[in-house]
Structure 1
Amino acid sequence: METPTDKKNGLDWIAFSVSGGLLVLFIIASLFNDKLVGQWINDSFSFAVKYFGAYWELLLLATFVIGLVLACTRYGRVRLGNMDKPENGNYRWIAMIMCTLLASGGVFWAAAGPMYHYLTTPPLFSGVEKGSMGAAFPAMAQSFLHWGFLAWAILGTLTTIVLMYAHYHKGYPLKPRTLLYPIFGSSIYKKSFIGSLADIVSIVSVAAGTIGPIGFLGLQVGYGLHAIFGIPDTFVTQSLVIILLAVIASISAATGVDRGIQWLSRMNVGLAVILMVAMLILGPTLFIIDLFLGSGGFYIENFLSMSLYRVDQSWLGSWTIFFWGWFIGYGPMMAIFISRISRGRTIRELIIAVSIIAAIVSNFWFTVVGGSGIFYEMQNPGSVSSALQENGMPAAVNAIMSQIPLGIALSIGFLLCTIIFVATTADSMSYTVAVTLSGKDEPNRFYRVFWALMFGFVAVSLLAIGEGSIGALQNFIVVTAVPVSLLLLPSLWDAPKIAMKMAKEQNIVEKK
């Protein structure tokens, strides 16, 4: 099927130049005055949290609820992608979905997040004694909120419906600006300033959100190699880890979604399952199961109050609103990726897989890793928290593994899983950036490899300037999430309209 952009198969040089130029400018500015750059980003970050925090909470909650309503009604039977049956099997499909958001969460926050909330109870539950058994349930529930239903829903449910309709049924390219197609029509593709802005901020957001974890990966693996094998934790070691990751991501991106990306995702999920089962068997099994069930009930019971909490602005900026900005920044590109791998799926399958199954699996992973940390901390106060407070998140994982039988083997497995997890994010996001710039489902291989290597190059450059530069770029995604969140808003009403229209076309509901 010929798309409206097939006559212009070249690169979108405006989006490429501006988005790439902003990344290079960020490196140069950080090199000359990283403190000033960090201050500017922190001020912008505070502005975003103060004036957009409430809106983001409502946006994520509404996206999740509207998606569930569509899935539970007859409109959930609508089949997407102009295909009669799925092109990817269930395991392959869900594995590719899981290896995007969970990459960042599983690597950096599964051990540290629950422990932080256990040591300092979230303000909504401030009456609970911190460090007690009673504090374990709200600690895990808070992590469930940050990496659960709402987080996954904003990454690829309603927006995916809009993109798949516009692309596979109407013939328009898979670009972030396509989310505005129901409002502006085909004019959004014709030298549109709003369209170009939508593409640019989406590229910059996902670049910031991907480069940050890559940089932190270098720090975490560098620490792990030193703790396990005694290899010096230096800039050279950290850079070599990042270069290895960039090479893996480049090879995966070069071979495409149907080969490299899906193969790496399946292998990664398989390794993660092996690690999870091993930790569950060798670790505090009954405690983990009880904590998962109890925290799940606590989470559901307090779901609305946690989702719409607005009292402690400082805490919100450090936790919930930070995560919401991060996931919103990923939103358009994740929707593009999920659209590409979800042809032939129904709306019901899409909503359940992304909003429910992926969230439950993520929460169980967090309970196995973070719950083990809470157990050992309760048994021996300071055994995990001291390492976390003294050496940061990378140390928390090693502190937990050291108390489990076969801990060294598990630590090595976790390091390997960490590298592959982040590589799957880098390859899928480099693919979606290339799709955005070319407007084609299968962009030029050079574009895909270029962006995977670009992510690695920027991460190494910022690491050379200082660890603070990596953190500043990570926070920058929250700043760029402001315009991106406006881009995601129309899907709240566009997706239901499209579902109703397609239900008539597919004879699911009666035509009037």
Structure 2
Amino acid sequence: MSGMKEYFSWFYMLATTIFVLTCLYLAIGPYRHLKLGPPDSKPDYSFFSWLGLLFAAGMGVGLVFWGVAEPVLHYMEPPPGYEAESEAAAEAALKYSVFHWALQPWGVFAIIGLTMAFFKFRKKRPGLISHAFYPLIGDKANGPLGKVINIFATLATAVGVATTFGLSAMQVSGGISEVFGTPNNITSQLIIIAIITVLFLISALSGVDKGIRYLSTSNIIIAGVLMILVLFLGPTVFLLESFTTTVGQYLGEYIPLSLSLDPYGDDYWFGDWTIFFWAWVIAWGPYVGTFIARISRGRTIREFVLGVLFVPALLGAIWFSVMGGTGLHMQVNEVVDIAGKAQENEELAFFLMLGNLPLGTVLSILGILLIAIFFITSADSASYVLSVLSSKGTLTPRKITKLAWGLLISVTAAILLLSGGLEALRAMAIIAALPFTVIVLVMIVSLIKGLRQEL
């Protein structure tokens, strides 16, 4: 993994920035009014249901896992150029956290989702990654080259999802241990994986329009309620000022943040944080992109980009400012040493913050419920997407295929946890993402070529 970070950090930074800039061009360029489907098609889901599905599939578990841990850990071990535990480090902690969860990851998802939706619903191609390259490779999309592309996409998806599955199990276990005093160890995590697997397989068998849709909508409501409670039970004015300052700094320093590494140092901080996150979201790209494509038929390109890129980025910034800001406020004012525990177990940070607020137990139980449902919806939609990718692109894969993929994801996550926990999960994500980054860059060329044919 260290070799990947040492030699390809620059590549990940450039690629993710290109994805975002391409999205902006598509939203304001000559193709913005084209629909992802026939010209008279209408969206399949209301805007709120669509956002709920986007958020649950794309970011849910990650936001909860890292929402407090990441800013607090950045404060203790800040990026190069900042003094640890200083006021500047606290501001940088929130700024870099928002950077990691705002435009860049959603740029990856938007490019893949838009390309898949365009070729599936507008061009009537099969819902496979290989057919996103049809303007470049023609009928080879059905041949050996297409199969290689689809295999890479499927492997990247399986690893990305298993990584998140493992993180989710760690956090549910940590949350339950904080609230109810149960052990937080590998046995607990494996039991949680087994229980969640049964639940998400039940949901998966009920289909996208029932299981995933209802769970996603309920989850965005729970997340909103929890965030509002923390905002008003926590240091409200401080949080509002932090949000304003963080968003201002993020927008003002967007290009430097997007393209800065540490060539005169050892790049250790960027490798452990920024590059890991970029690799993780790229590994997730085929899964989230394919799922977003599935739920976005009938939307214009501009509506798609605004919905997929900007709304989740704004929600992510608000989430980190409220949750991470509250955690930072507690750490700086020595209410509780969140960082001390988070340096050993990142998954505990969120619940340490909630537990030290008024109504802490109620908030923590809500937090566990939130993670559990995000966990189920992520695994549910992932098993659906992997089934699509391995069933010649049909949007209605067989139930037995979904069951098989669901079990495989669970077993992979369990093996990764047993073999080294978070470090094993991180290493797998970075390795799996590299070849797929190249594929997504070529995908942009194919998409632009396909769009030109429409004008």
- Of 329, 336, 342, which aligns to 1:375? 329
- Of 68, 93, 111, which aligns to 1:139? 93
How far is 1:341 from its partner?
Answer: 0.3
Give the residue type in structure 2 aligned to 1:429.
A
Runs of 4+ with deviation above 4 angstroms: none
TM-score, reference length from structure 2: 0.94
Residues 232 and 120 (structure 1), Cα distance of their counterparts in 2 relative to 1, 3 Å cut: closer
Distance (whole Å) between structure 1 residues aligned to residue 310 and residue 435 of structure 2: 27
Distance (whole Å) between structure 2 residues aligned to residue 230 and residue 208 of structure 1: 31
Give the residue type in structure 2 aligned to 1:51.
Y
Q: 1:47 aligned to 2:3?
A: yes
How far is 1:352 from its partner?
Answer: 0.7
- Of 48, 53, 57, which aligns to 1:100? 57
Q: Is the 8 A contact 2:27 2:302 kept in 1?
A: yes
Using the aligned pairs only, state the percent identity: 31
Query: SS at the partner of 1:172?
Result: coil
How far is 1:410 from its partner?
Answer: 0.6
How far is 1:482 from its partner?
Answer: 1.4
Q: 1:62 aligned to 2:18?
A: yes
Equivalent positions of 1:70-469 (< 5 A) are 70-82=26-38, 84-123=41-80, 126=81, 128-155=82-109, 157-190=110-143, 192=144, 194-311=145-262, 312=265, 313-380=267-334, 383-389=337-343, 391-438=344-391, 439-463=393-417, 465-466=418-419, 468=420
How far is 1:498 from its partner?
Answer: 2.9
How far is 1:488 from its partner?
Answer: 0.4
How far is 1:335 from its partner?
Answer: 1.6
Give the residue type in structure 2 aligned to 1:84.
S
How far is 1:402 from its partner?
Answer: 2.2
* Deviation per residue, 1:97-119 (Å, 9 max, x gap): 11123223223211111111112
Give the residue type in structure 2 aligned to 1:68.
L
Distance (whole Å) between structure 2 residues aligned to residue 170 and residue 383 of structure 1: 55
Query: SS at the partner of 2:204?
Result: helix
* Deviation per residue, 1:194-230 (Å, 9 max, x gap): 2222212222222122112222322222232222112
Give the residue type in structure 2 aligned to 1:303.
Y
Q: Aligned residue pairs: how many? A: 450
Query: SS at the partner of 2:453?
Result: helix
Q: Look at both structures and tell me which one has the larger radius of gyration over its CA atoms.
A: 1
* Deviation per residue, 1:131-185 (Å, 9 max, x gap): 2333322211101111110111111x23333222322233321112223222101
Deviates more, 1:101-110 or 1:91-100: 101-110
Equivalent positions of 1:462-477 (< 5 A) are 462-463=416-417, 465-466=418-419, 468=420, 471-477=423-429
* Deviation per residue, 1:270-321 (Å, 9 max, x gap): 1111111111111111111111110111111111111111224222211111
How far is 1:357 from its partner?
Answer: 0.6
Distance (whole Å) between structure 1 residues aligned to residue 402 and residue 282 of structure 2: 23
Give 1:482's aligned residue.
434
How far is 1:248 from its partner?
Answer: 2.0
How far is 1:462 from its partner?
Answer: 4.1
Give the residue type in structure 2 aligned to 1:404.
L
Query: SS at the partner of 2:205?
Result: helix
Give the residue type in structure 2 aligned to 1:478.
I
Deviates more, 1:136-145 or 1:234-243: 234-243
Residues 165 and 394 (structure 1), Cα distance of their counterparts in 2 relative to 1, 3 Å cut: closer
Residues 359 and 85 (structure 1), Cα distance of their counterparts in 2 relative to 1, 3 Å cut: same
Query: SS at the partner of 1:75?
Result: coil
Q: Is the 8 A contact 2:119 2:125 kept in 1?
A: yes
Query: SS at the partner of 1:490?
Result: helix
Give the residue type in structure 2 aligned to 1:139.
A
Structure 2 alignment gaps of length 5 or more: none
Residues 309 and 234 (structure 1), Cα distance of their counterparts in 2 relative to 1, 3 Å cut: closer
How far is 1:423 from its partner?
Answer: 1.6
Query: SS at the partner of 1:88?
Result: coil
* Deviation per residue, 1:53-95 (Å, 9 max, x gap): 2122111111111211221234211111225211111011111
Residues 386 and 160 (structure 1), Cα distance of their counterparts in 2 relative to 1, 3 Å cut: closer
Distance (whole Å) between structure 2 residues aligned to residue 165 and residue 410 of structure 1: 41
* Deviation per residue, 1:4-60 (Å, 9 max, x gap): xxxxxxxxxxxxxxxxxxxxxxxxxxxxxxxxxxxxxxxxx2232233221221111
Query: SS at the partner of 1:442?
Result: coil
Distance (whole Å) between structure 2 residues aligned to residue 240 and residue 80 of structure 1: 42
How far is 1:381 from its partner?
Answer: 6.7
Q: Is the 8 A contact 1:247 1:453 kept in 2?
A: no
Distance (whole Å) between structure 2 residues aligned to residue 102 and residue 263 of structure 1: 17
Deviates more, 1:238-247 or 1:347-356: 238-247
Distance (whole Å) between structure 1 residues aligned to residue 173 and residue 445 of structure 2: 46
Q: Is the 8 A contact 2:384 2:402 kept in 1?
A: yes
Distance (whole Å) between structure 2 residues aligned to residue 287 and residue 133 of structure 1: 14
Q: Is the 8 A contact 2:416 2:424 kept in 1?
A: no
